[in-house]
DNA sequence: AAGATGTTCCAAAAAATTCCAAAAAGAATC
DNA sequence: GATTCTTTTTGGAATTTTTTGGAACATCTT
């Protein structure tokens, strides 16, 4: 079984059981105790699980959020996204207003931001991110309204636009489905509308994109790359791509994605 | 059994029993006196329990405020709420518009509604419920905007009100923190505002309340009991309470909750 | 004073941690 | 495409830590 799948199944298991011992999990997944232990440890670091002696509980916020797809859990759990998210969260200054665009990479940023314990105001159009941020009392979280597309946690439509158009933020963390030297693009018109509104609402636009997003295009363009003030990506980006971006005069920050399994405690 | 789970069960036990001796607890949980003693000691330190000679009581504030300490949160998704939710979800007709108030019982209704696969339009001010409902493509889900109170999934404030005041729904599933023969009440003014708006927006108001909510009061009143068209509760409601409600002419439906399997104390 | 309850220890059991070698997966080479 | 080599993942053993149940003794309640 794939590690990612195993982890997703752990989440799934916890969602129905609410709590489980490592021994039960190991048996249910038909793998060894050591492996399950490592998986649980990993999921704890991403903030999805809470460890207890002998087992684990689903983190209360995750209990709420993770309903739609276990895949989201494993998506956030990617080491690259975590590293990008951590770097992004480090930029937040006390008292600032920050927009979190919908997406898994921005969700990883939200997870890190929650752990930092810095007081700030957050605005998001993502149910997952809203839940994550509400876990820290120092963060004043606002969620845009809107309708939810089945299978996603993204808020779309007039309700979402209404909130975002009336807003001025210090930073916007934005995700994208694809980007080239010219443009940012995503998969639907509604998504593009929201994202371009976010771009206009923030003084400083920070694009969070893992290296897989570079130099591909998607259906709908929502902004120009030169309008982005900083790009954060992971160290799997080929040097020639990095050079191409930097040649445009756009600051590009490359974060080291930690070797997966271990990490002291941080 | 997991230590965390054992502690959650102690709370659960105290919640229904109001007080219990260490010996009874030990027997109910099938563990030794020493262990239970240590658990109770731990829960006392966290301020959830109050020790007495030979036993323990639930701290009065904890009883009312329902603070979802991580360990306890898992115990809350009780069989009663699921049964109530199932019954509520069965009422939804294809094509209707349904408001889901924020709360754990209404969330249980959302879970059942998602499984039913009936096409309808849902509106909610709860991030959890939004996530749950978005899992079924037949359901058109709208989430109100608003800010999120830390530690909860509830959307509050002007953003939420805006959506709800402009709405007409066929059914509203509403939760409450407490209810008497006269009034429904909850813990904060903002919550009360939202709930009373929901009451006005729906043709048919269905109150989902587990038996523990009856005949107690909370800080803020948000509506009269006679304005409710149907109450769904569980079979632990004392008959005299049920009679008192029915005497007001309010339909009261009592659902059977599956036996949990942890009753060991008279 | 007597019975029950609380304390303070201790040894057994369960779980966590740390390590290591085998297996699997990827990358690079021919 | 097969092959080596490297890296990652996995399962397990030895060791340390935590938890558990109980025994001996102190203390409270009646």
Instruction: Tell me the pLDDT tens digit for each residue of B131-176.
Output: 889 888 999 999 999 999 887 889 999 999 999 999 999 999 999 9
Q: Cα–chain-centroid distance for residue B197?
A: 19
Q: What pLDDT was estimated at residue A46?
A: 76
Considering only residues 60-119 of chain B, list those whose CB is below 7 Å from strand D. none
Q: What pLDDT was estimated at residue B11?
A: 85
Q: What pLDDT was estimated at residue A8?
A: 82
* pLDDT surpasses 80 at A220: yes
Q: What pLDDT was estimated at residue B259?
A: 44
CA distance A20 to chain B (A): 8
pLDDT grade, residue A3 (50/70/90)?
Answer: confident
Torsion of CA B71, B72, B74, B77, to 10 degrees: -170
Q: What pLDDT was estimated at residue B123?
A: 97
Q: What pLDDT was estimated at residue A60?
A: 60
CB-based contact (8 Å) between B5 and chain A?
A: yes
Say yes or no for a CB contact (<8 Å) between A143 and B141.
Answer: no
pLDDT grade, residue A75 (50/70/90)?
Answer: low
CA distance A154 to chain B (A): 9
* pLDDT surpasses 80 at B262: no
Question: What is the tens place of the pLDDT at every residue in B113-134?
Answer: 988 999 999 999 999 899 889 8
Nearest nucleotide (C1') to the CA of residue A37? C16
pLDDT grade, residue A153 (50/70/90)?
Answer: confident
Which of A95-109, A188-202, A206-220, B54-68 shows the lowest mean pLDDT across its residues? B54-68
- Contact of B126 with A134, CB cutoff 8 Å: no
Euclidean distance between CA atoms A109 and A72, whole angstroms? 14
pTM: 0.73
Domain B79-255 architecture = 3-Layer(aba) Sandwich (3.40)
- Contact of B64 with B218, CB cutoff 8 Å: yes
Q: What pLDDT was estimated at residue B78?
A: 62
Nearest nucleotide (C1') to the CA of residue A40? C16
- Write phi, then psi, for A97 (nearest 5 degrees): -105, 130
Binding residues for strand C (Cβ < 7 Å):
A 21-23, 34, 37, 41, 51, 53-55; B 21-23, 34, 37, 51-55
Nearest nucleotide (C1') to the CA of residue A21? C15
Which of A73-77, A141-145, A243-247, B113-117 shows the lowest mean pLDDT across its residues? A73-77
* pLDDT surpasses 50 at A14: yes
- Contact of B205 with B175, CB cutoff 8 Å: no
Question: What is the tens place of the pLDDT at every residue in A160-184?
Answer: 999 999 999 999 999 999 899 899 9
Q: What pLDDT was estimated at residue B13?
A: 85
Contacts of B151 in chain A (CB under 8 A): 134-135, 137
Q: Which residue is nearest to nucleotide C4 (CA to C1')?
A: B54
pLDDT grade, residue B74 (50/70/90)?
Answer: very low
Which of A15-29, B116-130, B216-230 shows the lowest mean pLDDT across its residues? A15-29
Q: What pLDDT was estimated at residue B213?
A: 87
Cβ of residue A21 near strand D, that is under 7 Å?
A: no
Q: What pLDDT was estimated at residue B68?
A: 44
Residues 6 or more apart from B159 whose CB is under 8 A from it? A142, A143, A144, A145, A163, B144, B145, B146, B147
Mean pLDDT over each residue of chain B, to the nearest integer: 86
* β B19-21/B55-58 pair status: antiparallel
Which of A131-140, A255-264, B107-116, B123-132 shows the lowest mean pLDDT across its residues? A255-264
Between A136 and B127, name the one with better pLDDT.
B127
Say yes or no for a CB contact (<8 Å) between A159 and B149.
Answer: no
Question: What is the tens place of the pLDDT at every residue in B29-70?
Answer: 999 999 999 999 998 888 788 889 988 988 765 544 444 444
Fold of B3-76: Arc Repressor Mutant, subunit A (1.10.10)
Nearest nucleotide (C1') to the CA of residue B42? D19
**Token pair 């699921």 is at which residue?**
B82
Q: What pLDDT was estimated at residue B251?
A: 95
CB-CB: which of B5, B128, B153 is closest to A19? B5
Helix (H) or strand (E) holding B184: strand B183-186
* pLDDT surpasses 60 at B9: yes
* pLDDT surpasses 80 at A154: yes
- Contact of B128 with A110, CB cutoff 8 Å: no
Q: Which of B123, B148, B159, B160 would best serve as a mutation to test chain A binding (most A beta carbons within 10 A)? A: B148
Q: Where are the domains of chain B?
A: 3-76, 79-255
The DSSP line for B195-232 is HHHHHHHEEEEEEE--GGGBT---SEEEEEGGG-SEEE
Residues 6 or more apart from A126 whose CB is under 8 A from it? A100, A101, A102, A103, A106, A107, A153, A154, A155
CB-based contact (8 Å) between A52 and chain B?
A: yes
Share of chain A above pLDDT 90, in %: 51
Task: Round and report the angstrom distance from CA (B216) to C1' (C7).
Answer: 39
Q: What pLDDT was estimated at residue B253?
A: 96
Q: What pLDDT was estimated at residue B120?
A: 97
What's the whole-number mean pLDDT along residues A131-157?
Answer: 89
pLDDT grade, residue A65 (50/70/90)?
Answer: very low
Widest CA span in chain B: 58
Fold of A78-255: Rossmann fold (3.40.50)
pLDDT grade, residue A264 (50/70/90)?
Answer: very low
Between A64 and B80, name the one with better pLDDT.
B80
When the candidates are 1.10.10.10, 3.40.50.2300, 1.20.1440.120, 1.20.1050.10, the CATH number that belongs to A3-75 is 1.10.10.10
CB-CB: which of A18, A133, A152 is closest to B74? A18
Chain D bases closer than 7 angstroms to a protein Cβ? 8-13, 18-23, 28-29
Contacts made by residues B120-123, CB under 8 angstroms, sequence distance 24+: B120/B92, B120/B93, B120/B94, B120/B95, B120/B96, B121/B96, B121/B97, B122/B97, B122/B98, B123/B97, B123/B98, B123/B99, B123/B163, B123/B164, B123/B167, B123/B169
Mean pLDDT over each residue of chain A, to the nearest integer: 85
CA distance B152 to chain A (A): 7
**Token pair 């059914």 is at which residue?**
B171
Q: In A49-176, where do the E strands start and end?
A: 49-52, 55-58, 97-100, 120-124, 139-143, 146-148, 155-156, 169-174
* pLDDT surpasses 90 at B75: no
Cβ of residue A238 near strand D, that is under 7 Å?
A: no
Cβ of residue B166 near strand D, that is under 7 Å?
A: no
CB-based contact (8 Å) between B142 and chain A?
A: yes
Share of chain B above pLDDT 90, in %: 59
What's the whole-number mean pLDDT along residues B206-219?
Answer: 88
């Amino acid at each position: 079984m794939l590690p990612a799948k195993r982890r997703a199944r752990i989440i799934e298991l916890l969602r129905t059981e609410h709590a489980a011992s490592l021994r039960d999990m190991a048996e249910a997944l038909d793998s060894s105790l050591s492996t399950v232990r490592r998986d649980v440890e990993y999921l704890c670091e991403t903030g999805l699980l809470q460890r207890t002696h002998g087992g684990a509980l689903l983190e209360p916020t995750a209990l709420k959020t993770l309903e739609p797809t276990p895949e989201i859990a494993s998506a956030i759990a990617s080491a690259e996204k975590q590293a990008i998210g951590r770097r992004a969260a480090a930029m937040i200054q006390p008292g600032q207003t920050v927009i979190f665009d919908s997406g898994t990479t921005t969700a990883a940023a939200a997870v890190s931001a929650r752990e930092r314990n810095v007081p700030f105001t957050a605005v998001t159009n993502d149910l997952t991110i809203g839940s994550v941020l509400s876990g820290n009392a120092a963060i004043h979280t606002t969620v845009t309204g809107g309708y939810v597309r089945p299978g996603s946690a993204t808020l779309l439509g007039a309700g979402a636009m209404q909130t975002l158009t009336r807003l001025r933020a210090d930073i916007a963390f934005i995700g994208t489905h694809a980007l080239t030297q010219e443009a940012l693009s995503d998969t639907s018109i509604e998504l593009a509308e929201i994202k371009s509104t976010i771009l206009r609402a923030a003084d400083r636009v920070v694009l969070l994109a893992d290296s897989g997003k570079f130099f591909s295009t998607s259906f709908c363009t929502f902004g120009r790359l030169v309008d982005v003030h900083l790009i954060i990506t992971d160290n799997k980006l080929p040097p020639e791509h990095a050079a191409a971006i930097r040649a445009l005069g756009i600051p590009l920050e490359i974060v080291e994605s930690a070797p997966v399994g271990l990490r002291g405690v941080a």
